[in-house]
Structure 1
């Protein structure tokens, strides 16, 4: 049996960058061939089709966003951890070099809903962040930092929604207004805690 002559993770990473930049629909098989260096037949043999490669790219993105979960598990005041997470998102959006937004948010806007496979992958990604936020908020309640009458699960969902909203708002904001608009949302979100 022949072993694969390419590194699977490197191929998925290269494809993820293309999907992230162009979106699913605008990405052609030729774009993926060019980015990965694989032939069409190798791509189809390894990933079945473009959709299969896209699903792998979303799984890889899920791995890359684990740093947000790690941040929420750090010691310290929970409100400060949430602020740092939101500032990470704001700074990502203000970085003029990328302008890609969040791959998960992009996928949700483009394919989720009618595409059950993509919806399931995205739901897992969002749920993981929601659970990490809920655990942090519960810790904040136990330490008296977050009011005990507030529903930590609902707050976690609100923050996940805020993060995705920041991504979308950034894409739809004029450059000269973007920073202040994102910071306004961040401040109101922290006030809700």
Structure 2
């Protein structure tokens, strides 16, 4: 009979998430992970497999717990509302935790060794799926007349992601929330005319990590 697991899996995942968020995939050592989780390395292996498997579980948790504003944004009535909600929600998330600013996905994909390539590809695929969802939403907005005929949904989706990724890097580098809000305002100033003007959403999300 196997030994009874003596730790809370959810708490361990939350602790690992914060480490990966702060240090990136390759920057997070097993010593960092075990110290944060309060479990020994063999127990971590037994519960989650290797470091890559643990990161993949953490990434799913990150998307479900912290990026739930993305599917919510896609349900808003206009393309501009979608962009406003995503931009300001991302600013809130990127600056909410001083000990691990920025975006876990961006922190983990900027560079890596050959051994980390599977993780980098997983992050690229996750962002590509998000871009496809944005493109489809903006195509619908164009078909409904919310965006002008000359609008290019694929370019708008790529533009919005470029701003989001840039702000995540800036947040990691210590840029203030106010500065990032200025970046968002500048990006929205170039948004194609049509639909509502959109205002920054009131965001208040909890963190148990």
TM-score (norm 1): 0.81
Q: CA RMSD in A?
A: 2.7
- The offset of 1:99, in angstroms, is 4.5
Distance across 2 between alignment mates of 1:112 and 1:45: 25
> Cα gap change, 1:2/1:106 in structure 2, threshold over 3 Å: closer, same or farther?
same
Describe how 1:105-124 pairs up with structure 2 within 5 A: 105-111=106-112, 115-124=116-125
Secondary structure (helix, strand or coil) at the match of 1:108 reads coil
Secondary structure (helix, strand or coil) at the match of 1:52 reads helix
RCO higher in structure (CA 8 A, sep ≥6) = 2
What residue number does 2:178 align with? 179
What residue number does 2:84 align with? 83
- The offset of 1:140, in angstroms, is 1.8
Distance across 2 between alignment mates of 1:66 and 1:31: 24
Describe how 1:17-56 pairs up with structure 2 within 5 A: 17-56=18-57
Preserved CA contact (<8 Å) 1:112 1:119: no
Q: After superposition, what is the alpha-carbon deviation per residue over 1:106-129, rounded to whole angstroms, capped at 9, x for unaligned?
A: 001243887331122112321232
Higher helix share: 1
Distance across 1 between alignment mates of 2:3 and 2:83: 45
Describe how 1:119-158 pairs up with structure 2 within 5 A: 119-158=120-159
